[in-house]
Amino acid sequence: MLNIAYVGFGKSTNRYHLPYLKIRQDKFKVARVVTPTLGKRPEAQAELEATGTLFSTNISDILTDSSIDLVVVVTPSSSHYAVTKQLLTAGKNVLVDKPMAANLEEAENLVALAQKNQLFLMPYQSRRFDSDFLTVQDVINNGYLGRLVDLEVHMDHYRPNDGKAKGTAIDGTLYDHGVHLVDQVVSLFGQPKSVAYDLRATRLLESMVEDHIALNLFYDKAIKANIGATELATKAYPKWQIRGTKGTFVKYTVDEQENDLKTGKLPGSDNFGLDAPQNYGQLVYYNQSGDRIEKYLPSITGDYGRVYDSVYDTLVNGAPKLVSDEQMLTVMRILSAGHFGQSPQLVTF
């Protein structure tokens, strides 16, 4: 049993973290929660307090508690670096919400500190367990497509009135939605040879905070990965398009976990996160006999709680981390480089 402390008790903690621990009580106990404002979510707080969770407003309560095995940082993005550094300095293992830092230098500092103190450090890359991404991995691993040529992944919305007038790089779409997409690509292919960036503010033209991103990641063996996100998509674009020498896979819709969580449907309930048949991805390929095969593939059900399973396996059983130090630094290297020059630009790694 691992004792967990949370820094932050907002929407993300209550929607994207705690529901998955409720069905993992054999592995985890929420021992402490530090939040700036007590009683802001009275029902959720009371539910945890009934199980013995201690609430307070001072992070020192976590820093000085030797019984804590893991601290989960779910605070505003701009504070991730400072809070995580404070925890690592105090000897705590840390799982930090994305993005883990504001730039590569900060990320390198955190990784070095964790390695020096022999501590666990990892970003909460929950979308490695999106159903659509798990299905994409399965399609690639089964060799349906032959040698890969192009992979394209999008995270699009229609939110025309939510542009940010002011902010820094960490407030833009690249560090928000993009960090997940970049991590998914890095988990498949590693560090690219070069990346072409197109970062633009499209809703508020005078803003310096981008809300539209297009990245082309170039790899060996003629592989290119395209990453895109926009807030002005009135018509659905495929979430995934993957092409190889023998086939193509296309999927339009995203994982259902977030939609279910927003409606109050919880992990462990019937059909939670289950993809509807009409949303399955389409696979078109040529088999070894030269026959053209067209079929819809049932989506592999996603489970964000598997991030916690992986953390448990690392801390208790010594398994490799789900997101390696090399991968987390590669992701931050790609994010950081996008803001070092005038867009569009090409950066070689």
pLDDT at 343: 83
> Region 323-339: what's the mean pLDDT?
96
Average pLDDT, the chain: 96
> Region 301-311: what's the mean pLDDT?
97
At 164-189, the pLDDT tens digits run 989 999 999 999 999 999 999 999 99
Q: Which helix (H) or strand (E) holds 250?
A: strand 247-251
Per the CB < 8 A criterion, the answer to whether 88 and 110 are in contact is yes
Per the CB < 8 A criterion, the answer to whether 35 and 57 are in contact is yes
Helix, coil or strand: residue 108: helix
At 239-257, the pLDDT tens digits run 999 999 999 999 999 999 9
pLDDT at 339: 87
> Region 316-345: what's the mean pLDDT?
94
In terms of phi and psi (left: phi > 0; alpha: psi -120 to 50; beta: otherwise), the region of 214 is: beta
At 41-99, the pLDDT tens digits run 999 999 999 999 999 999 999 999 999 999 999 999 999 999 999 999 999 999 999 99
Q: How far apart are CA 347 and CA 349, in angstroms?
A: 7
pLDDT at 341 over 90: no
pLDDT at 245: 97
pLDDT at 142: 95
> Region 8-21: what's the mean pLDDT?
96
Q: How far apart are CA 29 and CA 53, in angstroms?
A: 8
Chain CA centroid to CA 272, Å? 19
**CB-hemisphere CA count at 13 Å for 220?**
4
What residue type is assigned to position 51 of the chain? Answer: T
At 128-165, the pLDDT tens digits run 999 999 999 999 999 999 999 999 999 999 999 999 98
Per the CB < 8 A criterion, the answer to whether 72 and 100 are in contact is no
